[in-house]
Amino acid sequence: MKKISKNYTSIAPYYDMLMRRVRYRDWMRYIESIIEMHAPYAKNILDVACGTGNGLLNLRKKYKLYVAFDRSLDMLRVFKSKLKFYEIEPLIFVADVRKIPIKSQSIDAAFSIFDSLNNLLSPKDLKKAFGEVFRILKDGGVFIFDMNTTYVLREHWGTKTRIEEDEDLISIWRTRYKNRISELHITLFVKGSDGKYVRVDELHMERGYDIDEVLALLKETGFSNAYAYDHMTFTPPKEDSLRVNYVAVK
Ligand SMILES: C[S@@+](CC[C@H](N)C(=O)[O-])C[C@H]1O[C@@H](n2cnc3c(N)ncnc32)[C@H](O)[C@@H]1O
């Protein structure tokens, strides 16, 4: 049996290749428009669970300070290797969202994109994460994040196998859904410069949360206002929304 790596470790060098069809630029325009609405004065910005930096690096507005962290050192290594192509010099560090090493009341706007918070597998952990973001935000600061819905994890990811084939990369996505948790086993075959394929295996897990549950947790944490939108819109989520965007104002 092939060794299965911890999530976002051995996959890190291939993450951007796997995500090449994701429209990060449009996504960040949406995030920026929400920041404009709630914290137009924002001078510093934080990317929570930034991965290889595709959120932060697609921001248009010039902030005074860019901050980003992720639990995976391997993802951050890729992020750092891309910085030479950009003008910004973000502060990047390894950290878990449940214990953020940032001073209280110091951040104007924080965001977390691409269902990173679904990686927290219990409401207790999700609330811990909300508590930490709340602590580091200034009064009036905003936290914007998205989550996969229970619907998408159950009905779309479901329990199945999907294969994607490109010239230099074959990926196999095996999912199993049970009790709100989706287990995703990713296998990659990556063609090296010698023409030989390298195999990489990782196990990812995401938990689905009900929208009311997330909004209630945000309120319990102390956020003065919390909103949920169908992803990339300003309309309420529907029964069959795949991704929900949340906005929490301190
Ligand atoms: C799907 S990736 C998204 C990365 C990036 N935000 C993007 O849009 O490309 C999920 C990221 O969440 C990070 N992550 C998962 N659990 C975390 C935690 N508890 N604290 C910090 N980062 C975490 C993973 O390491 C991974 O980089």
Does residue 18 lie in a domain region? Answer: yes
Question: Taking all residues of the chain, what is their mean pLDDT, rounded to a whole number?
Answer: 96
Residue type, 56: L
Q: Which residue's C-alpha comes closest to atom 26 of ligand 1?
A: 51
Does residue 166 lie in a domain region? Answer: yes
Please state, for a pLDDT cut of 90, what percent of the chain lies above it. 94
**Most informative mutation of 116, 120, 146 for ligand 1 (most atoms within 8 A of CB):** 116
Confidence of residue 140 (pLDDT cuts 50, 70, 90): very high
How far is residue 199's CA from residue 2's CA, in Å, rounded to a whole number? 9
Q: Which residue's C-alpha comes closest to atom 13 of ligand 1?
A: 49
**Most informative mutation of 58, 70, 186, 232 for ligand 1 (most atoms within 8 A of CB):** 70
Does residue 1 lie in a domain region? Answer: no
44 with 158, same domain: the answer is no
Question: Is 54 close to ligand 1, i.e. is its CB under 6 Å away?
Answer: yes
140 with 42, same domain: the answer is yes
77 with 189, same domain: the answer is no
Question: Is 72 close to ligand 1, i.e. is its CB under 6 Å away?
Answer: yes
CB atoms within 10 A of CB 19: 13
Does residue 3 lie in a domain region? Answer: no
133 with 177, same domain: the answer is no
What is the distance between the terminal CA atoms of the chain, rounded to a whole angstrom? Answer: 48
Average pLDDT of span 9-19: 95
How far is residue 133's CA from residue 105's CA, in Å, rounded to a whole number? 10
What pLDDT, on the 0 to 100 scale, is given for residue 171?
96
- CATH number for the domain including 173? 2.20.25.110
Please state, for a pLDDT cut of 70, what percent of the chain lies above it. 100
127 with 192, same domain: the answer is no
Does residue 5 lie in a domain region? Answer: no
221 with 182, same domain: the answer is no
Q: Per-residue pLDDT tens for 142-166?
A: 999 999 999 999 999 999 999 999 8
Q: Are strands 107-112 and 137-148 parallel, antiparallel or unpaired?
A: parallel
Confidence of residue 1 (pLDDT cuts 50, 70, 90): low
Question: Is 16 close to ligand 1, i.e. is its CB under 6 Å away?
Answer: no
Domain count, the chain: 2
179 with 220, same domain: the answer is no
Closest-CA residue to 38 (of 242, 241, 229): 229
Does residue 185 lie in a domain region? Answer: yes
- CATH number for the domain including 111? 3.40.50.150
* Domain of 217, in residue numbers: 12-148+209-249
119 with 185, same domain: the answer is no
101 with 189, same domain: the answer is no
Does residue 184 lie in a domain region? Answer: yes
Q: Which residue's C-alpha comes closest to atom 20 of ligand 1?
A: 96
Question: Is 119 close to ligand 1, i.e. is its CB under 6 Å away?
Answer: yes
46 with 166, same domain: the answer is no
Q: What DSSP character marks residue 245?
A: E
What pLDDT, on the 0 to 100 scale, is given for residue 60?
86
Closest-CA residue to 249 (of 149, 101, 146, 133): 133
34 with 157, same domain: the answer is no
Q: Per-residue pLDDT tens for 30-89?
A: 999 999 999 999 999 999 999 999 999 999 878 999 999 999 999 999 999 999 999 999
Q: Per-residue pLDDT tens for 162-190?
A: 999 988 899 999 999 999 999 999 999 99
Does residue 131 lie in a domain region? Answer: yes
CB atoms within 10 A of CB 61: 11
Kindly list the distances between the CA atom of residue 206 and the CA atoms of 88, 104, 116, 181, 223, in Å, as whole numbers in the listed order: 32, 28, 9, 6, 24
53 with 139, same domain: the answer is yes
Q: Is 174 exposed, middle or buried (0-12, 13-18, 19+ CB in 10 A)?
A: middle
How far is residue 190's CA from residue 195's CA, in Å, rounded to a whole number? 9
